[in-house]
Amino acid sequence: MTTRTETDAEQKKSLTEKAQDAAKTAGEKVSSASSATVQAAKDHPYAAAGIAAGVAAAVAGAAIGATKLRDGEDEKTYKSAQ
């Protein structure tokens, strides 16, 4: 007859093993994806540079837009306080 503590310990071990297996699988997938990305960048350097420049421009545009929106809110708050 198994006791409750033995069953709890088995479940915890099982959950720990499942979490470790999931982490290992995720790590393998990330490694594979990064290797494929590096190889694609080596095979097509100009396309990779263009994509990187486009992403940088999009991030910069979003940052500038967010700053302008925030500055507009600060200005409204300042005017309403006067």
The parent domain of residue 19 ranges over 1-43
Q: What is the pLDDT of residues 19-74, one digit of tens each?
A: 999 999 999 999 999 999 999 999 999 999 999 999 999 999 999 999 988 887 65
Does residue 51 form part of some domain?
Answer: no
pTM of the model: 0.52
Sequence-separated (6 or more) residues with CB below 8 Å from residue 40: 48
Does residue 50 form part of some domain?
Answer: no
**Does 1 score more than 60 pLDDT?**
no
**Does 2 score more than 60 pLDDT?**
no
Cα 32 to Cα 24: distance, rounded to the nearest angstrom:
12
Does residue 67 form part of some domain?
Answer: no
> What is the count of structural domains for the chain?
1
Strand spans (E) along 6-63: none
